[in-house]
Structure 1
Amino acid sequence: MPVAATRSILQISTDETRALKSLSVATQITAKNALQGSITDLAKLVDFIPINKFNASRFYCLVPIFHATLSSVQVPNYINSKTIPTIMRAKWALMGLVKICAIVPTASDGGDDALTKNIVRRWDEIYPWMRFFVRNCLPPPYDISIAPPRPDLCNMFDAAKMTIHLLTFICTNSEEGRHMLRSSVSVQHFVAQLWILVGNLKRDSIQGDPGTTTDGLVSMVRATFPLTNYVCVSESEDPDKITLPLSNYIHAAGGVKPVVSTLLRYIRRITRDAAAVEEPRSWTTRDQSVQSLHIFTTGLRYSFLFLQTISRQDASCRAQLIRQGSIRTVVDAITQILPKILVQANKEMDFHPEMGIAGRQDVLWTGYSYIASAIRDADDGVTSVCQAIDAGLIQTLEKGVVCAAHANRRDIPPRGRMGDIELLFLLATFFIYHRVVESIFRHWYRHTQNAPMEKREIRDEGLGVALELVLKSSIDAMDHRSVEPINPQEYKCSGPGCGIWTSKFVSKKRRCSGCLISLYCSEKCQRTAWRSGHKKWCQVLRCAVGPWGSRDIRTSLQVIAGFETSEISGMTKEVETHVREAQQQFPAFINTLVLMLDMTVFPPEIHVLPVHMLEQFPGEDPIWPEIADEIRQRSDSPPKGYMFSVVKVHLGKSKFTLFSPSTALCMAFESQYFLNDETYDSMDEDDGYDWNKLSDEDLDF
């Protein structure tokens, strides 16, 4: 290429000129020609820079030439024969800076790192050219089938190096650069569109680095870019620095649906690439398979972190993620990579700061942490738990017990804050729900079909003990659900003397809008039940389904009651101890103590408190002493030292304190109050109940 004419020779300082003399004579001549405007010699300077870090620092003196070149050119509005020389000079100058910063992480003078000094603090002259090459040398984000407009100026490989790779360098090495990504609206828009583009790229999209193979190049780009993506929405290391709201990034990426679908596509494709990595011949940092596996799993980790961040910060993202199967995608990713990374090799490898066991474990813990946060932060955590179990999370954790334990020695890093054991215990707190028990049935069916009576070798004893406890709880849940129904009101009319089953109802089922539990075949049956005892128990039953009357709680009362009875009976000594302590702690309320079984934690915990101290429970209601008296009169073994028991449950972020389901169901429906027809027909209209509050409901039992 001929030397392009320039108005004047590029100027660099005397010290910078003197530094060039440390290079070979041939390189000095090339540098001089580059300063005089030779595009060919500028390209040669970039080629002279070695691709490894050995002796790379001596080429740091070329940086002023690249900066001087960029300072002398401006981004053109049009591409034609007159502007092409300018574009080519900018391309090679930017390529030189990227190459230098990749191999010289710190400045030779001991000052700021090379990346911050030469890229981040010169952002105003570098960023416009990055946008220019993305716009003209990469396909559009949402339709990668369209060819780049000017591939002759810069192939896709070089364009990716100057943009995507450069952003990765910034996120890895420069705190100042990370803050810039978090605080600049235009940069976040730029990153968001690049993220969509990379997510849509096919395996063979990027061609062009003469002399080297492009096999797996798109996979590597896709695995490294999640770091940049996560940095843009993460919180700053400095609490005094402002981070832009997540809505800015979502808007730039095209909205919630594109963000969610692209993110899940990233995870699936990176997982596929990680699973395809060949088994390492030797677990050393120099092994190509180990290096590839590290890149892919690191990409998964940052994808999981981004997943957790947008789920926590934006309710619409959280809901859309669940709808599009994010939990299933994460479980599948963990299932495929777990046996590849939970491998103990040797002391040198296991304690490596980046590729060691702690780093590999962190990938799994980050995925587990997202699943846990999706369950805890959701309004409907039951759906999230069902997704996790149906996706095979329990089977995946069962596979974990056959891997060597990585936390059983002091010199091995401990488990993550939200690791496999913590997630297991969180799942167990939802085993009280009917829908979850159905998923458990399906899990056990698959388990017995795929590996009947298979005995696994347990090498991770901590996880093995936790898994045994949780699996026992899952079996208990199925047992409680399969017991002869203690709540026949869900299957037949609750009217006194009426034995019509719901399947034989002529009209729609009438559910009491007060308690949300009792069903009636007619208004006549409902009036009779009200006068015969439901008037007193309606409020009690409503307190057994929670203040918002969740359908999940209502349809799960039998399972909750089963757990309540078995847990309290199994902790008799502990109950007596808590009652004595509460009597000493609350002497003024000794007659209003209530036993609370906290099932929001696993294993469940026992607490004894005055009734007015219970959260979301009508503690001041005068009906409770009357109910307590009736419990003592009608119970074969009345509670000692407390009025009655309550159960604390959660549906995700919402927690409820429920009146004892076992007590409410047994006593409210102990008798159907068989009355003769004369009494049945003589009921008054004026009985203190608003009959307009009937709830017609088609049930799907």
Structure 2
Amino acid sequence: MPFAAVGSSLKITADETQALKSLPVAAQITAKKAIQGSVADLGRLVDFISMLNSSRYCCLAPIFHATLSSIQVPNYINPKTIPTIMRAKWALVGLVKISTVTPSTYDDMDDPVTKYLVRRWDDAYPWMRFFARNCLPPPYDVSVSPPRPDLCNVFDAAKLCITPLSLICTKSEEGRHLLRSSVSVQHYVAQLWILIGNLKGDVLQGDPGTTSEGLISMLRASFALTNHVCVSESEDPNKIILPLSNYIQAAGGVKPVVFTLLRYIRRITRDAAAVEAPRSWTPSDRSVNQLHLYTDASCREQLIRQGSIRTVVGAITEILPKILVQASKEMDFHPQLGLAGRQNVLWSGYSYIASAIRDAEDGVTAACQAIDAGVLQILEKGVVCPPHADRRDHPTRGRMGDIELLFLLATFFMYHRVVESIFRHWIRMQSAPMQKREIRDKGLGVALELVLTSTIDAMDHRSVEPINFHEYRCSGPGCPMCTSEFVSKKRRCSGCLVSIYCSEKCQRAAWRNGHKRWCQVLRCTVGPWGSRDIRTSLQVIAGFENSEISGMAKDVETRVREAQQQFPAFRDRLVLMLDMSVYPPEVHVLPVHKLEQFPGNDPIWPEIADEIRQRSESPPKGYMFSVVKVNLGKPKVTLFSPSTALRMAFEGQYFSDDEISVDEDEIDDSKTPGHEDLDHGSESLDDG
């Protein structure tokens, strides 16, 4: 059937016109009328596109492209612009449908999405923004009804605005770079992301063939991937991508991004948990993975503060039974839906929890949130799943999988607040009904046993009497007063941040009695920033320090000999470092000047080392003293030995039966370094 070029509304090439002759006669007639400007026939043309013979209908794409090229986006909606809007709607729907149903072929250089959408982005994108602005509810108020449902209902508008982005993210590398590099596109995606995250079921009514709740679940899952791609790194390191801050600003700031992201996690988890059989459950959703992308300084702490770790732990708890259920041998070894594939979803959640703890400025708070949310209980349930990582035909564990998360948590068991969370964990375990489980994942089972043993050790170290004596008793020599009995404001030494005094008299007496020598040592025991978490945890850290060094006695001797051979000029200036920022802890022996974040060149250390040797019942052999490296999250701090510092600095007050009494008349009122004037040399105790 011939197509007359004269009088046509649209301009298509002779080759494109010739290609239309391969269509059925009814489709050719409809195409001719669509080219001549019939809006109704343009809509009917879309109905011809189907999965059957999908490649045959690719010849309709030039009509849709020509339609979009021939019209401009109107500034207003009125009776004159409605036909133009409807033509754009059907043309965009047609391109999306062709890109969806047309498979990629090996002899085709460009995939359909790149050819029909990305390469004609300048024609399609303005109309996508138009329908988003005029036919979708506002991003921050989804209760507002769309202004023109007669032009395009919310269901069709969502497909027009979101489906092209989802297709680009999954099928076009060129398109993915477009999303990452365009300010306008990122602004558009950010606003849509907020909108979809707030959509409720009653917004999408009248969806043909799909329930509104099902459509919303599909939109959330697909757009989570779009968001992930939009702000992730490019496949090509040479291609420039926009900073994450640009996307956050476009979405309205940190708080909307954080709240919407956590809402995505909760709602997608609910949808996944509602699936009855694992066969229909897909692990392709990347909503948890998105959390990795929001770990820059602007969002990381806010996410943790708003409960992101708790949210992810809750999500894992909810979907864990679905993931670990075993269906059949054929199903369990399926490359995408099998047990190994589903385990990767768990590991993505574990990976976020680990990265949040590891990269946080306050990793102690993050670790407490994870334990309080029940991450140890989840990992105990995970041992029932066979370890497919041991098989050659399955992928290895994630970079931060379950075992890695366990070992990271164990590096925080030395902190007072974390031990309190551990106490609550064991109380919950005692009240929960006992369930005997078969341990199929032997590797996870062994790691879990080691870490749970460390939790018990932490509680034991925390329970040693007197508990944190330096926090609850006046450090004045011979003073029996507890902090709860202080009448006046409590005084904390501003030099060491450890000693507490009930009065100016006790503070001056302590300085004269030996605190002058040990003040700087105690300051090095709480770290360069004087972390409160370290200060209140010195007893637990000291307990781990003693037990670990004793347990590795042979390894310590070996390390000392190696260091003496490696550093012969510093044989008498070696220091033992217990690295508890890793699990299991490691020991190293090195010259004092090589210590990080520690005043090793200060002349006080040889003098202190000599006193340690004289006053210790079993003086260390081969090294001056020990230090401890601890993990605070992103920062890692090297501390002077808490065990040594507490024992030496408070020996007269707390470790001897003969308490020292000081005559008030003998107190030297001269000003001393670090304790000059008590109004300036001490701090009021507002957190003790």
Task: Compute the TM-score of the two structures, normalised by the length of structure 1.
Answer: 0.93
Q: 1:60 aligns to what?
A: 58
Give CA-to-partner distance per residue, 1:606-628, whole Å, 9 cap, x none.
Answer: 10111111111111122222222
Shift of 1:211: 4.9
For residues 264 and 201 of structure 1, the distance between their equivalents in structure 2, rounded to whole angstroms, comes to 14
For residues 219 and 161 of structure 2, the distance between their equivalents in structure 1, rounded to whole angstroms, comes to 11
Shift of 1:680: 3.2
For residues 426 and 544 of structure 1, the distance between their equivalents in structure 2, rounded to whole angstroms, comes to 22
Q: 1:683 aligns to what?
A: 667
Give CA-to-partner distance per residue, 1:384-441, whole Å, 9 cap, x none.
Answer: 0000000111111111011222212222211011101001000000000000000000
Which structure 2 residues correspond to residues 129-528 of structure 1 after superposition, within 5 A? 129-280=127-278, 283=279, 290=280, 293-294=281-282, 297-299=283-285, 302-311=286-295, 313=296, 315-345=297-327, 349-350=331-332, 352-452=334-434, 454-485=435-466, 487-528=468-509
Which structure 2 residues correspond to residues 113-128 of structure 1 after superposition, within 5 A? 113-128=111-126
Shift of 1:60: 0.9
Report the residue type matching 1:533 in the other structure: G
Specify which of 551, 559, 568 is matched with residue 587 of structure 1: 568
Shift of 1:210: 3.4
Specify which of 490, 496, 517 is matched with residue 536 of structure 1: 517
Q: 1:115 to 1:483 in 2, by over 3 A?
A: same
Instruction: Give yes or no for contact 1:599–1:647 (8 Å, CA) kept in 2.
Output: yes
Which structure 2 residues correspond to residues 97-112 of structure 1 after superposition, within 5 A? 97-106=95-104, 110-112=108-110
Report the residue type matching 2:677 in the other structure: W
Shift of 1:674: 4.2
Q: 1:427 to 1:211 in 2, by over 3 A?
A: closer
Which structure 2 residues correspond to residues 498-647 of structure 1 after superposition, within 5 A? 498-647=479-628
Report the residue type matching 2:549 in the other structure: I
Q: 1:24 aligns to what?
A: 24
Report the residue type matching 2:416 in the other structure: H
For residues 148 and 462 of structure 2, the distance between their equivalents in structure 1, rounded to whole angstroms, comes to 66
Report the residue type matching 1:429 in the other structure: T
> Over aligned residues, Cα RMSD in angstroms?
1.8
Instruction: Give yes or no for contact 2:8–2:35 (8 Å, CA) kept in 1.
Output: no
For residues 209 and 442 of structure 1, the distance between their equivalents in structure 2, rounded to whole angstroms, comes to 48
Give CA-to-partner distance per residue, 1:33-75, whole Å, 9 cap, x none.
Answer: 211212222111111111x3x4211111111111121122111
Shift of 1:345: 4.5
Q: 2:682 aligns to what?
A: 695
Q: 1:287 aligns to what?
A: none
Q: What is the number of equivalent residue pairs in this alignment?
A: 676
Give CA-to-partner distance per residue, 1:567-593, whole Å, 9 cap, x none.
Answer: 011111111111111111111100011
* Gapped regions of structure 2 (runs ≥ 5): 1-5
Instruction: Give yes or no for contact 1:168–1:227 (8 Å, CA) kept in 2.
Output: yes
Shift of 1:200: 0.9
Instruction: Give yes or no for contact 1:493–1:501 (8 Å, CA) kept in 2.
Output: yes
For residues 427 and 336 of structure 1, the distance between their equivalents in structure 2, rounded to whole angstroms, comes to 22
Report the residue type matching 1:685 in the other structure: D
Instruction: Give yes or no for contact 2:340–2:389 (8 Å, CA) kept in 1.
Output: no
Shift of 1:382: 0.3
For residues 510 and 607 of structure 2, the distance between their equivalents in structure 1, rounded to whole angstroms, comes to 20
Instruction: Give yes or no for contact 1:144–1:197 (8 Å, CA) kept in 2.
Output: yes
Report the residue type matching 2:458 in the other structure: A
Instruction: Give yes or no for contact 1:57–1:108 (8 Å, CA) kept in 2.
Output: no
For residues 470 and 676 of structure 1, the distance between their equivalents in structure 2, rounded to whole angstroms, comes to 45
Q: 1:15 aligns to what?
A: 15
Shift of 1:355: 3.4
For residues 659 and 276 of structure 2, the distance between their equivalents in structure 1, rounded to whole angstroms, comes to 74
Shift of 1:698: 3.3
Instruction: Give yes or no for contact 1:204–1:218 (8 Å, CA) kept in 2.
Output: no
For residues 319 and 642 of structure 1, the distance between their equivalents in structure 2, rounded to whole angstroms, comes to 40
Q: Secondary structure at the match of 1:316?
A: coil
Shift of 1:485: 2.2
Report the residue type matching 1:635 in the other structure: S
Report the residue type matching 1:270 in the other structure: I
Segment drifting more, 479-488 vs 510-519: 479-488
For residues 328 and 661 of structure 2, the distance between their equivalents in structure 1, rounded to whole angstroms, comes to 83
* Gapped regions of structure 1 (runs ≥ 5): 1-5, 284-289
Instruction: Give yes or no for contact 1:105–1:115 (8 Å, CA) kept in 2.
Output: no
For residues 475 and 78 of structure 2, the distance between their equivalents in structure 1, rounded to whole angstroms, comes to 85
Matched, 1:664 2:650: no
Instruction: Give yes or no for contact 2:671–2:677 (8 Å, CA) kept in 1.
Output: no
Q: 2:3 aligns to what?
A: none
For residues 136 and 687 of structure 1, the distance between their equivalents in structure 2, rounded to whole angstroms, comes to 75
Q: 1:263 to 1:541 in 2, by over 3 A?
A: same
For residues 149 and 694 of structure 1, the distance between their equivalents in structure 2, rounded to whole angstroms, comes to 67
Shift of 1:215: 4.7
Q: 1:353 to 1:162 in 2, by over 3 A?
A: farther
Give CA-to-partner distance per residue, 1:82-101, whole Å, 9 cap, x none.
Answer: 21111111111111100000
Shift of 1:214: 4.0
Give CA-to-partner distance per residue, 1:103-161, whole Å, 9 cap, x none.
Answer: 11436962311111111111111111111111111111111111111100111111111
For residues 397 and 615 of structure 1, the distance between their equivalents in structure 2, rounded to whole angstroms, comes to 35
Segment drifting more, 432-441 vs 571-580: 571-580
For residues 688 and 494 of structure 1, the distance between their equivalents in structure 2, rounded to whole angstroms, comes to 17
Task: Compute the TM-score of the two structures, normalised by the length of structure 2.
Answer: 0.95
Instruction: Give yes or no for contact 1:339–1:403 (8 Å, CA) kept in 2.
Output: no
Q: 1:91 aligns to what?
A: 89
Q: Secondary structure at the match of 1:199?
A: helix
For residues 556 and 39 of structure 1, the distance between their equivalents in structure 2, rounded to whole angstroms, comes to 74
Q: 1:80 aligns to what?
A: 78
For residues 64 and 255 of structure 1, the distance between their equivalents in structure 2, rounded to whole angstroms, comes to 41
